[in-house]
Structure 1
Amino acid sequence: MKVLCHSFVQNLGGRDFDEVLFKHFAAHFNEKYKIDVYSNASAFVRLRISCEKVKKVLSANAEAPLSIECLIGDTDVRGIITRDEFENLSSKLLERVTVPCSMALKDSGLTVDELYTIELVGSGSHIPALTRKLTSFLKKEPTRTLTAITMSYMKPERENMLAEQDIKGQRNALVFFVHDTRFKLCGTYKSFVTDTEKEEITNNLQITENWLNEDSDNESEQDYTGTLKDLKRVSGICYF
């Protein structure tokens, strides 16, 4: 197999669609329950993880509920969003979906009519509006018969190894951070954090570990790097 070219645009992945949902529910809960998830590390992480699940539910359903018990203190929160609302909120992202396609066609010297098949991978690729955009632009409906890992094996050997190493490397970095921080909370960082801060950070680590145990082959390098960045942000009190 010969790779003719590759193209991409920044900030156009699954986590960017998660961010749309996060901002929506953060504002909704602030108005309805008078709570600010940005001010609470545990709430910040829990809402982000819940929004990722909502995105996946909306890929197969017309609406999706979101419910989190004791998000901040004793406050239980509930919300619901329809697929149409999500697509409207994501309109600016969806407008950019065809940009890397145009770049790839130009760089490869191919036309839309010369494309034999179009394969989508990654959790974000299941968003119906994204599929519709690509189908309209490329004049062919994309398929999802392969996982991200399987796709990497279809590349030249060196690219395959690098792609797989990048994904595994970022996942391992996240796993290491979780275990290392948990260990240091009982040692190196013990005198620098209060009991409340320790409990909050420990909860964030456990939430992330649960997510790692539930993830699938569809998780990308961006998923792991983004989660690690978020975890470092909310655990900043003990990150050096």
Structure 2
Amino acid sequence: MDIPSTVISTLRLAQSVMSPRQSASEKRQALYNAIAGQKISFTPERGERIELHLRNCGYDEGENETVLSVSIHDPQRPEDFFNLETDFRYHYTMIFFNDPREVGNLLVSELYFNEVGPEDFRIELCVNSADPPTLQLAFERVETVMAQVHSKYHYFLRSQYKQYSDEFEVLESFNGTKTEYEVGSSIDTEELIPQPFCGETYGWSDDDVDLLDRISMSYRAREYIEYVMKAEAGGDQFFVLN
């Protein structure tokens, strides 16, 4: 069972290809011409083909920030859009945001989600760069995360949440005007370890997952359950990257 490693590109530090003499409007047009209109399509481990389209970008010269607007067509999108946003943000956090090389120096500072239809939605990424190759990298992160959302690994996480979430409790506290959430449970993490011969349930072969993998997955399952429960308690206020 592959649990993805974090890949942070050094392209982020690359010098912008745009001349500093260009006006802000020229920079915006140059960025649009360089990256807008790109498409990615792929078939995840579980489900049908997903299509991504980088439709637009907007450049803020003062912040040196670019907003990418990515439309997504996902035939297996869950009916509850909040679940999709929660799962996407969870995997983005695990794959990219928690990497020590990016903490305090984020490539993507904000994510915004908009539901368009039963199989369609849009994500806007606020990217701390105006470098076209780096913006391309940010666009490709959407593919990486969507592939994880529809993986065997994620199916296991969601199944554990459905089975064990009743044994967890969300505790709220207040720090000034900010609400903070903690999740408590008396459950032993060992109970979350996938057992031998359960591979058929989650879609993998038992030979693919050794004991160390199973133990690691139990800790990831606990993290996922706690994350989802905090998201459900806090709603949009919980969904803050920085």
TM-score using structure 2 length? 0.25
Which is richer in strand?
Answer: 2
Which is richer in helix?
Answer: 1
